[in-house]
Amino acid sequence: MHIKKDTKFLIVGLGLMGGSYAMALSKKGYTVYALSDKQQPLDYALKHKYIDKGSIEIDQKLIGDADIIIFALYPLTFLDWIKENASLISPGTIITDVTGVKIPIIEKIQTALPQEVEFIASHPMAGKEKYGIENSDDSIFGEANFLITPTQNNTQKAKEICQELGEILGFANIAFITPEDHDDVIAFLSQLTHCIAIALMNCNDEEHLKAYTGDSFRDLTRIAKINDQMWSELFLLNKDFLLKHINEFENELDKIKVTLIENDQDGLRKMMQKSTIRRSQFDKNK
């Protein structure tokens, strides 16, 4: 193990995800520092013993002391922070993140860092429809995937440290994937599904529908409750992959429309049989 009992973590950003990381790491006995641009999350984290120390300032000592820094910021805020403060990070520090897109940030971050500071990107595929440190919950990691997206600039040691971090946080599954595959997969599995939920929730104004709703509509729109600042950044940063997947999805929906227009019951049944088989295989492999 590279991560030792005395390894010091600094978490930058104390929202739902930063708070949940702090909660998990402090429970395991690690020293956890935090930076936040607001006092309230720091107070909350100190009160609940999620962190040992925290600062609302760019605290040079906290930054310099950290062995591992985890950035739990929105993507553009993360980029800005690194551009302004990278020089404060000590040589030998390992940096990782929680960002939901990878290609648009990895190279920019790696370029902006001092030579002996290494950024190994990762993405905890966990979350809630709520946000803020008050909703922190380290149990969200227990059934979730932790994706690590190394580039050729990353060392074996950094990859191992990031894997250890995923294990300490308690993720069900840890996988290595290229940044390109990550952004493609995320556009399909996560961003497209959120677009569908938003469109479904917004496309019909009939208030009285609420009275008749069944489980399927509730399931499909659960994620229509969305943090608009974070997700709009993620969608726009990943727009090429996302547009590709929206178009592929609409093409598939158009195939259903054609079977309806042509009264093609056989064609419709074949699509349903295909989706049934695919969804069943999918259950087994989860």
Q: Which residues ranging from 21 to 80 are in contact with its own copies (CB under 8 A)?
A: none
- CA 188-189-190 angle, to 5 degrees, is 100
**218 scored as a contact of its own copies (CB under 8 A):** yes
Q: Residues 173 to 212: which contact its own copies by CB under 8 A?
A: 173, 175, 177, 185, 188-190, 192-204, 206, 209-212
Q: Report in angstroms how near the CB of residue 169 gets to its own copies at its nearest.
A: 16
Q: Tell me the closest approach of the beta carbon of residue 168 to its own copies, in angstroms.
A: 21
Of residues 119-148, which lie at the interface with its own copies (CB under 8 A)? 125-126, 144-145, 147
Q: Determine if 17 is a binding residue for its own copies (CB under 8 A).
A: no
Range in contact with its own copies (rule: CB under 8 A) among 15-23, 67-75, 84-92, 244-252:
244-252
Map tokens 């440190």 to a residue: 133
For residue 59, the SS3 value is coil
Burial (Cβ within 10 Å: 0-12, 13-18, ≥19) of residue 100 = buried
Q: Please, which residue, 115 or 251, has the CB nearer to its own copies? A: 251
The CA radius of gyration of the chain, in Å to the nearest whole number, is: 21
Query: What's the CA gap between 57 and 37, in Å, rounded?
Result: 7
Where helices occur in the chain by DSSP H, the ranges are 16-27, 39-47, 60-65, 75-85, 103-112, 156-169, 179-186, 193-202, 215-221, 228-237, 239-261, 265-284
CA angle in degrees (0–180, nearest 5) for 259-265-271: 70
223 binds its own copies (CB under 8 A): yes
Closest CB to its own copies among residues 1, 260: 260
**Cβ nearer to its own copies, comparing 112 with 198:** 198
Question: 109: how many CB neighbours lie within 10 A of its CB?
Answer: 22
Closest CA to 119 of 158, 157, 65: 158
Nearer to its own copies, 134 or 143 (CB): 143
Among 97, 138, 183, 233, binds its own copies (CB under 8 A): 233
Tell the smallest beta-carbon distance from residue 240 to its own copies (Å): 9
Q: Please choose, out of 23-31, 51-59, 65-73, 223-231, the segment that lies near its own copies by the rule CB under 8 A.
A: 223-231
Q: How far is 70 from 47, CA to CA, in rounded Å?
A: 21
Nearer to its own copies, 91 or 282 (CB): 282
DSSP code per residue over 14-43 = -SHHHHHHHHHHHHTT-EEEEE-SSHHHHH
Least CB distance from residue 73 to its own copies, whole Å? 17
Smaller CB separation from its own copies, 112 or 268 = 268
Q: Are 52 and 27 contacting, i.e. CB atoms less than 8 angstroms apart? A: no
| 235 interacts with its own copies by CB under 8 A | yes
Q: Give least dist CB 37 to its own copies, A.
A: 20
Is the separation of the CB atoms in 30 and 50 below 8 Å?
Answer: no
Judged by CB under 8 A, does residue 249 bind its own copies? Answer: yes
Q: Which of 40, 111, 155, 265 binds its own copies (CB under 8 A)?
A: 265
